[in-house]
Amino acid sequence: MSEAVSIRRRGFIDALPLFVPAFPFGLVIGLAVVESGMNKLVGWSSAPLIFGGAAQLTLISLLGSGAAVAAAITAALVVNARHVMYSAALAPTFQRQPRWFRWLGPYVLIDQLFALVSVRVDDDPDVFRTYYLTAGFTFWALWLITVATGLFVGPIVPVEWNLGFAVPIMFIGLIVIGIGRWPQTIAAIVGAGITYVAAGLPSRTGLLVGALVGVMAGTIAERFKK
């Protein structure tokens, strides 16, 4: 029993430093909810319902900017499509787990948790499960609290500060920090450029065109690399 306690402690302690970068992100999402003018409780519910910062910020900022709802939903879903890779990478490990955990586990499978557990896939299944759940739900609880904090901070910040600009700044950070290889840089530049050219399209659908062409450009660049 004491072993389980020490694994839980380990999962909790490992999660804390990885949450630090997510903290300003959660605050900005809270601010974006306030700026978008949507019901605050509804906006906050994106934390437990989506539990993914980039998709939450994408959806909320686009809904608040008057984009077509379908375009906002599509963009947010596409942003989170990278999770399919995590799912595939952990699938063999999850095969040795009970059914309830195979259903619950994916709910908290965010970037940080994947980074933590991907080096523990050869652990004993019980140890892996305990560690995964502890770290995952530590992130989860901290995230719900942080987004709520952003909701309360938002209204006391003066409008002239234009704090909404923090949203594109966060996206720039996500892009730069997430890029590991130059074809990804091409995907980003082409994605932005085509969206700029297509800015006149109705309901911000230019964003989807830009994203699609950006992915194609990255894929082509990858071919030329070889």
Partner 1 sequence: MIDLVAIAIVGLGTYFSRALFIVVLANRRIPDPVLVSLQFVAPAVLAALVVALLIDEDGAVAIGIPELAAFAVGGGVAYKTRSHIWTLVAGMTVYWVVRAVL
Binding residues among 32-91 for partner 1 as defined by CB under 8 A:
38-39, 42-43, 45-46, 49-52, 54-55, 58-59, 61-63, 65-67, 69, 72-73, 75-88, 90-91
Contact window for partner 1 (CB under 8 A) among 100-108, 116-124, 134-142, 146-154 = 100-108
Query: Taking the mean position of all CA atoms in its chain, how far away is CA 116?
Result: 16
Query: Of the two residues 10 and 40, which places its CB atom closer to partner 1 in the complex?
Result: 40
The Cα 169–Cα 41 span in angstroms is 25
User: In this structure, which amino acid lies at residue 206?
Assistant: G
* Residues 129, 132, 135: CA angle, nearest 5 degrees: 145
Q: Would you give the binding string for partner 1 spanning residues 131-170, x where CB under 8 A is met?
A: ------------------------------xxx-xxxxxx
219 touching partner 1, by CB under 8 A: yes
Q: In this complex, which beta carbon is closest to partner 1, that of residue 148 or of residue 166?
A: 166
Confirm or reject binding of residue 171 to partner 1 (CB under 8 A): yes
What is the helix (H) or strand (E) element at residue 154, kind and residue range?
Answer: none
Residues 39-61: b if buried by 16+ CB within 10 A, e if exposed: ebeebbebbeebbbbbbbbbbbb
